[in-house]
Chains A and B, each alone.
Chain A
Amino acid sequence: MRPRRGAGFAAGVAFTGLVAVFLIFPVFLSVLAGVTANYQRGVFASGVTLAWVERVLDLYAHTIGLSLGLALATLACTLVLGVPVAYALARNPGRLARLAEEALVMPVAIPGIATGLALILAWGAVGGFRTHWTFILVGHVLFTLPFMVRATLAVMLAVNLPTLEEAARSLGAGFLARFRTVVLPNAAPGILAGSLMVVTLSLGEFNMTSDAAHAVHHDPAGRACRLLRLDAARDRLGLHARLPGPARSPPRRSAMGIRPRLRP
């Protein structure tokens, strides 16, 4: 049946369209700012350039690499920790399992800043752990693990695993053989969805590591944030006009080891 389309439909399209504009326009603005030769003068006056993109790749290729490496390491950890526990939860309907499930998703409910501070208080003084990259890895794994467990568990519960496993068992398959040939292939869509979520969240995650001042220097996302924040502070104070142009000032390093400005 073709629905009637009156004023209500038009209003719906208009409203949804406005929301879409609200969400997409800033993305467009950021891309535009990224290719504008001189942001202070505007894109029309100064023209379009890829120089900034080149410059970022040049200066931050290492940082971007670190972020990707961290995300992949996080993914590996969540796969190793999350998939087996999801399977154990799917097979176990008991109260203990529900309690474990509740504890596993709790990091999502507790704000990252609280979890991060708790991590520093508990493990910050243990050897060189706090300044090691694995400290940041722990934070990322903690925050992304619930998503892996949730996605995998949902699919495992939906495919009726016990029946499939019963069939395999009656044909003589042992535990490992069943896990490898029945459980993993059937849970694959959930594992894939969880993996995508984990990598996306890990690449963007900052909360977890932002609590320690040092993390701002050691975590790639933290460093990128520091730069954005310097830009924000300049904008807030209206300093743009007084900044020297690109020709006269090559990027300097400040006392904190951070280039003062990405966009001269």
Chain B
Amino acid sequence: MGRDRLALALLAAPAIAFLAAFFLLPLALMLRTGATGPDGWATYVLVLGNPRYLASLWKTVALAAAVTAATLVVSGIAGVFLARNRFRGRRVLTAFLTLPLAFPGVVIGFMVILLAGRQGVIGELTMAVAGERLVFAYSLAGLFVGYLYFSIPRTVLTVMAAAEKLDPALEEAARSLGASPWAVVRDVILPGLKGAFLAAGAICFATAMGAFGTAFTLATRIDVLPMVIYAEFTVGANIAVAAALSFLLGAITWVVLAAARTAAGGTVAAAG
């Protein structure tokens, strides 16, 4: 048994060493770098007091929260429906809903432009119908559409997996006791899927907080936090502030994930 323990430790060592060298150490150094500016450790406080950074932080959190809420509603309905009903074309629909799983943010940004850019389909449609071109690819609305696009497939899969495990007999029982359809959803289905919703929602929120490719493709004017960090680092060469902002972004996201995991009872990471 003693030799086994040693062997197990040796097996775990490379990955742990890799993680320590390229993740934990860099994060610790970044925390310290945030304090190397003229203001020292006060940089962290000053950054949170700066109206521009604060506005950007709120905008990022609000966008991530809105995307999470919309994704949960859309994928919740579609996922439960697909898990509960068997019909012709169900497989095709499921495949369509999960196909964009692998698209990188940059490509999704490009797709948003094809939809809502200056030459986009929505622009052409509104031009034909109302005589005015509707272009929203380069605003927060465009970013919202892009993040929604990229969050739905991931969430639908989690919801479907959880809904398959939900016992239909519970709904049957509630219905036979006279519960209205809405009461069944509220008192049986939603509580049953709570864990899946928390897990998928937390991952969705974390991704929307840090997603960079889509914003990077669409515009530099959308000042969500990842874009601000990028600008501070490359254009402003303001390394201390960029480090402090990155650390705060990472900390906020991690806290939200940890809170969701505590609430869901340890299933959050499994959804990743």
Residues of chain A at the chain B interface (Cβ within 8 Å): 3, 8-9, 12-13, 15-17, 19-20, 22-27, 29-30, 33, 39-40, 80-82, 84-85, 87-89, 91-92, 100, 103-115, 117-119, 121-123, 138, 141-142, 145-147, 149-150, 154, 175, 200-201, 203-207, 210-213, 221, 224-225, 228-229, 231-232, 235-236, 238, 240
Contact = CB atoms under 8 A, between A and B. Distances in A.
Interface in B249-272: 249-250, 253-254, 257-258, 269-270, 272
Please list the 7 inter-chain residue pairs (A to B) with the smallest Cβ-Cβ separation, ordered nearest first: A111-B210, A204-B104, A118-B26, A26-B111, A84-B11, A122-B26, A85-B15
A121 B33 CA distance: 8
Contacts of A210: 212-213, 216, 230
29 contacts: A13-B81, A16-B82, A17-B93, A22-B149, A23-B97, A23-B99, A23-B152, A23-B153, A85-B16, A88-B9, A100-B16, A105-B272, A106-B254, A110-B27, A113-B210, A113-B212, A114-B249, A115-B250, A117-B229, A118-B29, A122-B30, A145-B18, A175-B3, A203-B104, A205-B104, A210-B216, A211-B233, A212-B234, A228-B217
Nearest to B15: A85
Interface in B73-115: 74, 77-78, 81-82, 85, 87, 93, 96-97, 99-107, 109-115
A87 B9 CA distance: 10
A118 B23 CA distance: 8
Interface in B238-252: 239, 242-243, 246-247, 249-250
SS of A interface (majority): helix
Interface of B: 3-4, 7-9, 11-12, 14-16, 18-19, 22-27, 29-30, 33, 74, 77-78, 81-82, 85, 87, 93, 96-97, 99-107, 109-115, 117-119, 121, 137-138, 149, 152-153, 181, 203, 206, 209-213, 216-219, 226, 229-230, 233-234, 239, 242-243, 246-247, 249-250, 253-254, 257-258, 269-270, 272
Given A108-B269, A111-B209, A117-B229, A149 B15 contact: yes
A24 B217 contact: no
Contacts of A240: 118-119
B30 A121 contact: yes
A175 B15 contact: no
Contacts of A107: 23
A255 B117 CA distance: 27
A80 B12 CA distance: 11
B106 A224 contact: yes
Contact of B239 (A110, A111, A121): A121
Contact of A117 (B110, B121, B138, B242): B242
B129 to A, nearest CB: 18
Contact of B29 (A103, A109, A121, A145): A121
A224 B217 CA distance: 11
A238 B117 CA distance: 10
Contacts of B26: 115, 118-119, 121-123
B85 A12 contact: yes
